[in-house]
Amino acid sequence: MEKMNADHQKFEKKANVDQAAIMKRAEQAEAKLEAALQELSGLKKHISNMTQAIFGSRVANLQDDCIMKLKAVYTFTEKLYTGSMMTMKAVMGNKEPIKSIKNMLGCLSTLPPQVDELKRSTADNPQV
């Protein structure tokens, strides 16, 4: 009987230690989940602000779906970049295509004077 009591006490001590370890891991997991939840909430708010800034009142059509909002922003950016590429190609002629957004922005900053030059050249030569 004493041996059974001793074994039972050992088992209870081990169970208490295991329970404490499990509780500590559960608390750590909850803390990590809370941090992840806060980060995701901030990201969701940032996405909503970004789409609101780009699309204005039309963002209501996207409801509260962040994936749809990101797809809309991506599509908008892609079309904007493609349109800029086509404009640059038309203005600059058949030069090497621009391969980075940084170079595109640099070229776009030179675009107004080039457009003015094209306007003057077409005004001087009405056959074109």
pLDDT at 103: 78
Distance CA 13, CA 79 (A): 66
Task: Look up the pTM and report it.
Answer: 0.51
Q: What is the mean pLDDT of each run of 10 residues along the chain (128 residues)?
A: 90 94 95 92 86 81 80 86 78 70 76 75 66
What sign does the CA torsion over 15, 16, 20, 23 have? positive
Q: Which of 24, 75, 81 is nearest to 54 (CA)?
A: 75
Measure CA 67 to chain center. 10
* Cα dihedral across residues 94, 95, 101, 106: positive or negative: negative
Residue 86 confidence (pLDDT): 80
SS3 labels along 70-90: HHHHHHHHHHHHHHHHHHHHH
Residue spans of the domains in the chain: they are: 1-62, 65-128
